[in-house]
Structures are given as C-alpha cells and as structure tokens.
A and B are shown apart, each in its own frame.
Chain A
Amino acid sequence: MNPTDVVITGIGIVSSLGLGTEAHWQALTRREPMPVIDRERFAPYIVHPLPEIDWSTQIPKRGDQRQMETWQRLGTYTAGLALDDAGIKGDEALCSSMDLIVAAGGGERDVAVDQSILDASLTRNDHDVLLNEKLTTDLRPTLFLAQLSNLLAGNISIVHKVTGSSRTFMGEDGAGVSAIETAAARIRAGQSTHLLVGSAFQTEHPDMLLAYELGSYLQREKWSPVWDRNKDLGGGVITGSGAAFLVLESREHAQKRGRTPYAAIGRVASGRAKRKDGILQAELGKMLSPLTDGEGPVLAISGASGAHEATKAEKAALEDCGVVARGFNTLTGHLKEAQFPFAVALAALAIRNGQPYPVFDPASEKPFETAPKAVLATSVGYNCFEGMGLVVEA
C-alpha cells in the first residue's frame, strides 16, 4: 500500500445495456446476458444502440444541450455519472482542481448537408466551388464545435466545472489506453491527486460506420458473439454506442475524503506491435506475463473488437497465459475510444462485488467460479495499438 496508489472512486458507464453501474452489473450477471441490437436502422450493419437517456439529469441547461450533438452529450452525461458516483459533483474545490483526460474521436457531421453536396456533385464538375457554395450557406456554426474532438472535454468543463486541466487524446482504441495509462502514471508520480478520465463513442451515424468500412472492418447482416465473427460477412467488428468515465484518485486523496474505492489500478502496459509482421500474438504475450504472473487465476475483461486478426491473436495470447476472458463487445458492440475505459470499469465492478461475470458466449468462454482478486482489462485495437491493465482490490 502506497499513498500514491491509483484507486477508482467513481464510475459512469452507458451502453445499450443501460445507464450506470447498477444497470450494467444486473445485465451482465444474468444467467444468460442478452445483447440489445438494432438490425434495421443501419442495415446491412448491426449496431448496439444507446438506451433512452434523459440528458437533463446531467446536463440541466437546455442551452448546453443545444450546443452539442449526441456524442458530446453522451460523454458529458457519463462524466456526470462518474462525478456523482465519486461524490465530487458540485464540489467546487474538488472540481476546479481536478484534472481531465478524454479519449476522443470526432463528432457528428451534418448528414443532410453532406448528402446535398454529394447529390449536387453528380450534376456539375466544379466540385470545389460547389463545396464553398454549400458549406458557406448550409453549415451551422455550432456544428463545428459539436464536431471538434477537444470540445467533449470543453463541455465537461462547462457543464461539470472540471477545470484543473484538460487534455484530449485521439487515436481510436489506443487513445483510451493512453488516457488511462497517462492518468494512472500522473497520479502515481504525484503529478495529479484526482482525475476524471474516460471516453464516449456514438456509432449511430453513417460517418462512424464509414470510417470502419473504409478499411472493410465491419461485419454485415448477422449478429454473432465477438469470438465468433464470420469472415464471409466482412471484417468482424459490430459497433455500439457507449461511454465510460472513471474518477481516479491517489489512495491518500480518497482516504482523506473518506471514500471507499471500487478497486485499484495496478500495472498498465501499452504497445504498438508491427502487426503486418505477424507478431501481435507474441507481443501481447510479452505484455501479459509481467501483469498476470503470480496473480493466481485471472479473469480478463477483454476489449477484443471482433476484427479477425487482432481478435484471434488476443484470444490465443490470453489462452496461452491461462487467463479466462469475457469479451464484452459481444454485448455492447465496439466502443472505439471508450473500449479500454469501459473494460477497466467492468473490471472494477467485478472486484467491488467480489464476483466474476458469467460467460457472455457459452461456445467460446470458460467458466470462472471464484471471487476475482485481479481482473485484467484489455484493449487490442481493431487496426492498431494495444494495451492492458490489471485492476486489483484496493
């Protein structure tokens, strides 16, 4: 035990499974957890949609809500859940000295404006002039801000008054890993005492699917568990909307506030395997051993995306180390930047409740019967970058 150990004192999570920690724990510990999926709206693609959310419970001002699109609202809302959970919400002194790290993609483009440009482009050749003409007249000024990556953090500062510092990391799954890794490293080194870290991903927008399909990463037509995706149906990824924010504190800071942590964050490791050399599984193995050796039976909350190569490599690496995995993307879909924060959140819930998750996919996952002492959270990016961290009893 060390005063600068990194403990988790607040969790906010949202996915198709529900709002908040309790809803997720209930949904994930049912005998046979069931995914919520929407097959129609984005057919042939399947998405795990957001549940209904009353934004005003975390974003009370209508004016603030209007300045955002769903992605920023989702992140700001979920950050509020985490702050509430940690007993920090509305505490001016704690919020104004609190550091913030957000892993972000981009916000939603205006589909109607973009489509009108695409349509008009078919009847004329001066495309550059067409862009100027349409964009100057049709773009809403506020939409630019709703799209800007760092404006999720900006909105969290405005709505929740978290203003100690504000940093936004970009870069898909890897950004979520770096956000948690950097947050934990800062606390451990005494560079921060308390910190809000997390991410949101809103997949229910054509551009969000387009970005994956530019690389042929999505599975079409048919839903299946994350470990059992079909190469004949595409690249293997099924996406979901969701978010995860964590309040991290130094042990000393949490103790002084009299807060009982969910769990502590142990070692976090990250890397950039040169995947085209076929070394991902080996690199993951090297990353795993120092984290899991000597820990007894380890349960893994795996952020495997379903992308064929990465998922296969991760599955093999985890099995080699004797780690029993739960692939939560079976139930939530791929949450992109939010993958690792979400995995860490689920790991912390298992530690807090002293109970493992049942199998999410009976065909591919093994039972884990004992109370977990250490839960591994992983995020192997669907295209690049990978990381993992151990969540342990506080």
Chain B
Amino acid sequence: MERTDRAAAQGFRRPSGAVAGIAAAALVAGAAAAALRAPPPSAPQAAPVAPASASPAAPIAPAFLERDDCGIEFVHQRFATPSKKYLVETAGSGVGLFDYDRDGLLDVYCVQCCPLPGGPANVAAPPDLLFHNDGRGVDGRFRFHRVADSVDVKRPDGTVVKKPLGLGDRAYGMSVTCPDVDNDGFPDLFVTNVCQGVRYRDKGNGVMVAVSNGGRDTLYRNNGDGTFTDVTDKSGIVDVDWSGGAAWADLDGDGDLDLYLANYAVLDFDHYKPCGTKERISYCHPDALPAGPDRLFRNDGDFKFVDVTKAAGIVEPGNGGHGLAALPFDWDDDGKLDLYVANDTDPNFLWHNVSGPGGLKFEEAAGSAGIAVSGEGRPQACMGSDFADVDGDLRLDLASANLGREGTVLYLRRDGELFEDRSARSGVLAPTFLYTGFGLRFLDYDRDGDMDLIQVNGHVLDDVHDFDPAQTFEQVPNFLENRGDGTFVEIGPGLSPFFKRADVGRGLAVGDLDNDGDQDVVVLENDHAARVLENVLETQNHWIGFQLVGTRSPRDAIGARVVLTCGDKEQVQQVTGSSSYFSWQDLRLYFGVGARTDAASAEIRWPSGQVQRVEKLVLDTCHVITEPR
C-alpha cells in the first residue's frame, strides 16, 4: 500500500479565509441572480414529509460553487432541426473525467454534436474538446485549459516536437468512456455516436474501414505522450446503430476490459419520418424507431476486439431495448461481473454472467432480479443510472432517472438476488416526479457516511408545456440528501443557485477535481455552456479515499468492491466508471466517515476474485492500493 503523498502535499484541506469569503459572496450573488429569474411554471410536487421519528432538518449550508471561470469553455450544441425534430436532438451528450496525462489531476472531455440533415447549411461541425486540469490557481481554485489540436511532445532525447492531439471527434456525439483498454496506465477514450449512414468495408485483412464520413463510434488509444491515435478501424468495433452508453468490465476474467455497447435505436436520416401533425412536428416516441441491438465486444488485447454478441447469448427479448446506460456489477456475488442495462420505455436488462470455460455467456435476468420494470410492473424511460448502498446494509442499491410523471426509480437490494422498488417510500419519487432525469449519480457530498443523489433534468419535448402545464422543457436539477437510513429529502436549492435554475441537463460526472477529498461535479446541458460545480462545503467530517490499481484484474479495477470499516460504521462502494448518463466518472472511491477518527480498515474484493485487507488507513487521504500479483 502506498499513499498519495503528492496529493497530501498539495493540501487536501479546502481554501480558507479570504478565498472562502469569495466563495460565500459568489454564492450569495448567484442566489440573488437566480431569484431574479422567473421560476418554472409549476413547482414539482412537494417533497415528502419526514417521518415522525426524524429529527428536525439542519440548515443547509452552501456546498457547490459554480465555476464558470475555471477554463472549461465548452458550449454544447444539439443542432435542433425544427422541420425534422430528429429524436437524437433530445439525447444530449456526456462528459468524461480522466487523468489522461497521469499528472494526478482529473482532466475533462466534453462530447459535442454536429449539424444534422435538414438543418442550416454550411455550418461547421464543432469538435469534442479536451480540457487539461492545471491544478490550483493563485486563488486556490482549480483551473483548466483547452488542449490544443497540436501539442508539445517531449522525446526521449529531451527535444520537443509538435504532434497532433489526435482527438476532436466531430460526429453527433453521445457518450464518452475512458477505460484503460490496454492496461498501460494511460486511460484511453471511447466515444459513441449517432452513426449517421456509416457503412463498413472489409479491407481483406480483417480491418474494417468506415466508408462514409458518418459518426461511427470511435476508439482512441492514449499514446502516453499527451496524444491519442484513432484505432477504431483496426479494433474490430463495428457498429452502425445509434449508440447510447458503453460499459467496460472484465467479463471473461482474462484481466482486460471488454466492451458492452448499449445501442439506442436504428436510425436512418435519409428516410426519417417526422412525428406529430402537419401543424406541429414533434419528437417521436422512442417506439417509433426500432431498438438498436446492443453489442458485446471481447477484448483480445492490443486494441483488438471481437463481436461476441450472439455467441454470448446477448439476444434481447421482445422487441429489444432502447439502451441508454450500461453498468457492470456482480449481481449474484459469484465473482463474475454482470451488466445492468437501462432501457428507455422497454424493460431493462440484467445480463447475468454465466460464462464458463466455453467462453462468454449471459442470460437475461432482470425480471428475476426485480429491476426490469417498476414495482407496479411498468416499463419506464430509464436513463442515467447508478449503484450505491443507500440504506447501509452493505448491499448495492440501484437508481435510474426517468421521464417526467414517472419519477426516479430506486431499487433497494433485498434478501437473495431480489431488488425492491422503494422509490415512493424512500422519498426519491416525489421530488423527481415531474422531472425528466438524465445524469444521475450517488455521492457523499458532505462526507457524513451516506450516499446522496444528484440528478440533472430537462424534458425531451421542447414544447411539453403546451401539452402539460405542470412540466417544462428546462427543469431544475435535484439534489437529494440521504437521511442516513435510505430515505431522501430535497436540499438542492440550499446547496447552490445551480439547483434553482432550470436548464436541460444531460451528461453528469462526479469526481474530485482538486484532490481535496470531496466530490465536484461537471454537467453538460443541451445548448448551454458546461457547468462546473466545485464542492466548497465547510465541514469537519473526515473521509478516506481509494485509488485501486489492478494487476491480475484490469488496471482500472472496474467492478472492485471496497468495504470500509471506521469505528462503528461499515460502508461499501464499487468502482464502476460508466455510471450516470453517457459519462465517465472518477474511478477513485471516496468514503465520508463523519466525525469518526477511529482506526479504519478495508476489505477489497477485486474483479479477479482476490480479497485483500488493508489496515490502519489514514483519514483524509486517498490511498493508492495495488492488487497483489
């Protein structure tokens, strides 16, 4: 075990004194500005009333400072086409947090869209952008700068040459994931796109080449020198459908990350039939587009993948699923990672990993687990999703954001392999009920030892208010504080003006951008500048962090589960990566332990099956734990 002393040297404690004063002033100013804005036409239904036994709620302290000045100058554009209203325009894009240059600081990748057929002519497609984390500026706050298309690369002999960055995807972008595909320590990049008319040609040597300039999904190898190389053509990752989220996990236990691609729909721009009436074109219901079959690619090393979808039994029941999010987790605790797939309007999937010596094999088991549909038996419009233990029973629970008038669903893990829909009784349903949620992530923002929930919202229909006066296109985000028992209460407006302002939220990633031990947030909103929320909560609560480095497991340790014990408190978290919506999360795990100062220890179950115990963990430190070989 080693400690991240560098991070400690940078100072995990938050800025104090004058800087904190600036933060407070900014928050007050923001609040005033927000108060001037018109509220949404209808407030959501009242937050649930606290159970009689609950103590009076403490005042909510401001926690998130909006950092418009941090250097992430990215404006998402969805390129809406009023005369067509392609469904893709509603989807939005994701954001990825990853340390591409291994300087110890999370960088940010923002996915962009491009003009669509029927839109204004002669509009250039803007590229996805990468922002480098420059650490703290003179004001003590993190700064970023956009990484240019051409970067300085230092050669072994010390000379510096200019090389192309190698990124800059200009397709209609959906999700970004940042797995270390080749376990070399440098995270790579995979961007899913709406594959506009892509056709592939086999060059005869097994290399598939996209023969149109449509938006194929793109895999970039991190060269380790600050540049990337597009390796899609030789990778074998061939997909012509509109892809949603992607999940990476070692599904066959060979030590590298395989790829599950959650496809949304089959989309043909040339023959797209707008929905609605002659007088009013509207965005289609997802059912109007055939579901795109999901795909499973086995990683055979050296950036070579093989499509094993059918062989592995990934045969979607019924009419398939409009997949938006895919998350690995070990449902049945058999040491093999399974996959949860959140489908929009179709029953969700749970691909139970029953692989053996014969290769990858899966069986669909969402019904058996109770997570295919809501507790009432209704398929929902599941979008951003995440796992966390919200009720402290050391079992991972599951949440998926949904369409307005469905409300976010929270499944609590029960005995055996069953989940139970506790959305209403947990207090998650009421405050989210009128909102259409996309990015969703559990985080312990105040380090009190339980997992809270952030969700960004925005309806898919830009004219929804005409049909339903209680709903709006732009919607305020939710922040639900966990009372410690798995029940939640809305506290967003007290945390930041961000939670009072209605927008069209989509991608959301959570991570510790300044290595101070708390969780910051980056949000992408449709047709809006990226939002960066710096966690500035003043708290004496302690924390313990983990950066897991796999050896027999994939280096990213996706699927590793850590049970932390600190005094009387036990908690569990899992490394996931592809949580939320179209976005990639900080792979480090952060546990809040409240005011406890007891000796802490942890048990780590690695994806390889190894179980490792670590003792005498130091408070307020991110520990780098390397898997025993």
- Please indicate whether A and B come from the same complex rather than being unrelated chains: no
